[in-house]
Amino acid sequence: MSDIEINSILTETRLFEPPANFTANARLKMAELETLHQQADSDYEGFWAQQANALLDWHTPFSKTLDDSNAPHYQWFNDGTMNVSYNCIDRHLATQAAKTAIIFEGENGDTRHISYQQLHDEVCAFANALKAQGIKKGDRVVIYMPMVAEAVIAMQACARIGAIHSVVFGGFSAESLRDRIEDAGAVMLITADGGTRGGKIVELKQAADKALSKGCSSIQHVIVLKRSGHDIAMQAGRDIWWHDAIADQPSSCEPEWVNAEHPLFLLYTSGSTGKPKGIQHASAGYLLNAMTTNLWVFDLQDNDIFWCTADVGWITGHTYVAYGPLAAGATVVMYEGSPMVPDGGRFWKMCEQHKVSIFYTAPTAIRALMKLGDDLPAAYDLSSLRLLGTVGEPINPEAWMWYHRVIGRQRCPIVDTWWQTETGAIVISPVPGVTATKPGSCTLPLPGMDVAVVNEAGDPITRANTGGYLVIKKPWPSMVRTVWNDNQRYIDTYYAKFGGKYYLAGDSARCDEDGYFWIMGRIDDVLNVSGHRLGTMEVESALVANDAVVEAAVVGRPDELKGEAIVAFVICKGERPAGEAASAMVQALRNWVGEQIGAIAKPDEIRFADGLPKTRSGKIMRRLLRDIAANKAITSDTSTLENEHVVAQLQGKV
Ligand code: PRX
């Protein structure tokens, strides 16, 4: 048995059939779902062509569905032209201009309802403002904003004029922002004075100024939204307030009709080595799967209120806040702040107040709220909810059951959705009116998604419950197109392993007797902290960039709340820190990493030693470090260890 073929010990036998009343009103019932699968199986391209024609509005129709002549650079619908913003907004105006597109709530409780007409007007005015600042089709625009409606308006405005946005999560530090601006060669930065989270101001403009103080020479202008209202510095000639930028702009703006393959956005995500990768998505294919999945998985219907709690800084906030639901003409909820303000009932209070019918969040949030007990959710009327979803990491069955029982009140199906920044949209998920669910399984691939678990040789694993590599065998419309500035990295990361045949997801998975997929974790050194991917390498680079540090290795340790906690093994210059000096160094290094990357990357634990456990060929023994971090008995063979004495140090025994 090869390394990857791990026998699973987790057995979950509970099965939850879709509630009959949900199925009765669902968009997809068994027959419709089967038809979609059959169409995709018998005529793959014809199936996607039909979906693209039915769900998107084209300026000029496409004649070729899939061009695979330059694989693995696949092109979809490329001789067609369209505009994403037009598809998300304008096409709804004839029938539902007054319908609410976005319900925004700030942490302080301020709310705003934005209709499709208002959204149109604001997006157009801002698109005109971008043009007035010299932004053209193909320019890169970095968006570094709080979770406010204007973030979506900025994204939509870029899409409208064919500019390529790159949203950088507002929790990232100035250094991370700088790296992303420089890699993208962005000419504009859109930010805010500050956001509010956990009762504190997030100093976005200050961080932006710091990022721009060194390098970033491509940036010509910075547009600043007034949100927190506190004093900030504005640099004359470079910085302009959002309200001034739009002041004289008309509320209409002809969309830029772009080819289907025109890049819509870049989104940086962690890999196991090197710096974050600029995942590049195309326009039409991305929007198509954003729509299909909103319809199939979230069963979006006319009167739904859809709340996906993800920040727009992540792919989930792109596909299930800023684009997909709007393309489907739905109403979305956006919340600026922390789920714990003023207390852990905030989500449930908002569900009651805004009559949320579909609620989509991450397992880490569910676990954190579960810990607070059943009383908080019990205090609110959650009867508007009809469907629940999760994303970002495997959900443990206990958290699934709590979500089902306490939030869904045993009435709501749960869709555990597997996908990635690179897939653009959900790939494996229950279809809520059809699929019986099992706590902890993302169940079955959606129509048109050809997913398999294969062994080292790339052959399908047929034995039930045997782990292997999760791969996608056929290209799909919303797939990553390339890694910005580093095409070779795209090929190496996703297509090299199986000789260009399959897309390698980087996860291990197994299928059970019913063919249900169970995600087992990453196969590379990528951590999953609170549902967000972080490269161990990024944290290690940040640590060694500190003057006091000589060498560092970072691994994940299973964590009840966050999925994975970050454990760093650090070698310092001079004496190994001990006692108070060690505590002070831990504090200093945690803050340092926070500054270099962002708070989510701060190691939860730092251990010091005189060296790292290495093989005679000089490779760090990561598996051994993982055992040590988890305080497990050491199972790795340590006989090849160059420096065996450091193991005891790292275990904290000496
Ligand atoms: O390991 C898988 C995990 O999150 C990774 C993708 O991370 P990211 O690109 O940041 O996107 C997260 C939101 C789509 C995957 O490779 N993951 C995501 N969803 C699930 C999951 N693991 C298990 N179950 C899921 N439902």
Q: Could you give the percent of the chain with pLDDT greater than 70? A: 98
Tell me the best of 393, 437, 442, 449 to mutate to test the pocket of ligand 1, counting ligand atoms within 8 Å of each CB and taking the most: 393
Q: Kindly give the distance from the C-alpha atom of residue 192 to the centroid of ligand 1, in angstroms, as a whole number.
A: 29
Between the alpha carbon of residue 330 and those of residues 104, 106, 175, 231, 283, the distances in Å are: 14, 20, 37, 37, 20
- Nearest atom in ligand 1 to the alpha carbon of residue 417 is 26
What residue's CA is closest to ligand 1, atom 12? 392
pLDDT surpasses 70 at 4: no
Between the alpha carbon of residue 544 and those of residues 96, 135, 512, 568, the distances in Å are: 55, 38, 43, 11
423, 448 contact by CB (below 8 A): no
Higher pLDDT, 16 or 617: 16
pLDDT (mean) for 386-395: 95
Q: Kindly give the distance from the C-alpha atom of residue 532 to the centroid of ligand 1, in angstroms, as a whole number.
A: 8
What residue's CA is closest to ligand 1, atom 11? 420
| Residue 10 confidence (pLDDT) | 54
Confidence of residue 11 (pLDDT cuts 50, 70, 90): low
Could you report the per-residue pLDDT of 491-514, keeping only the tens digit for each? 999 999 999 999 999 999 999 999
Could you report the per-residue pLDDT of 106-140, keeping only the tens digit for each? 999 999 999 999 999 999 999 999 999 999 999 99
pLDDT surpasses 90 at 63: yes
Q: Which tokens is 202 given?
A: 């997030």
| Residue 614 confidence (pLDDT) | 81
| Residue 2 confidence (pLDDT) | 41
pLDDT surpasses 50 at 6: no
Torsion angle, alpha carbons of 580, 581, 582, 586, to 10: 100
What residue's CA is closest to ligand 1, atom 18? 392
- Tell me the average pLDDT of the chain: 94
User: Residues near ligand 1 with C-beta < 6 Å?
Assistant: 269, 315-316, 391-394, 416-421, 442, 505-507, 519, 522, 528, 532-533
Report the alpha-carbon distance of residue 178 to residue 200 in Å, rounded. Answer: 23
In which residue are the tokens 């207390």 written?
A: 343
What residue's CA is closest to ligand 1, atom 13? 392
| Residue 480 confidence (pLDDT) | 98
What residue's CA is closest to ligand 1, atom 4? 392
pLDDT (mean) for 544-560: 92
Higher pLDDT, 11 or 158: 158
Q: Kindly give the distance from the C-alpha atom of residue 388 to the centroid of ligand 1, in angstroms, as a whole number.
A: 17
Task: Kindly report the pTM of this predicted structure.
Answer: 0.92
Could you report the per-residue pLDDT of 209-246, keeping only the tens digit for each? 999 999 999 999 999 999 999 999 999 999 999 999 99
Q: Kindly give the distance from the C-alpha atom of residue 240 to the centroid of ligand 1, in angstroms, as a whole number.
A: 37
Range in 96-100, 261-265, 523-527 the model is least confident about: 523-527
pLDDT surpasses 50 at 265: yes
Torsion angles phi and psi, residue 541, rounded to 5: -60, -40
Instruction: Report all structural domains of the chain as residue ranges with CATH numbers, in order of start.
Output: 113-256 (3.40.50.980), 526-650 (3.30.300.30)
Higher pLDDT, 540 or 389: 389
pLDDT surpasses 70 at 204: yes
Q: Which tokens is 570 given?
A: 């650090």
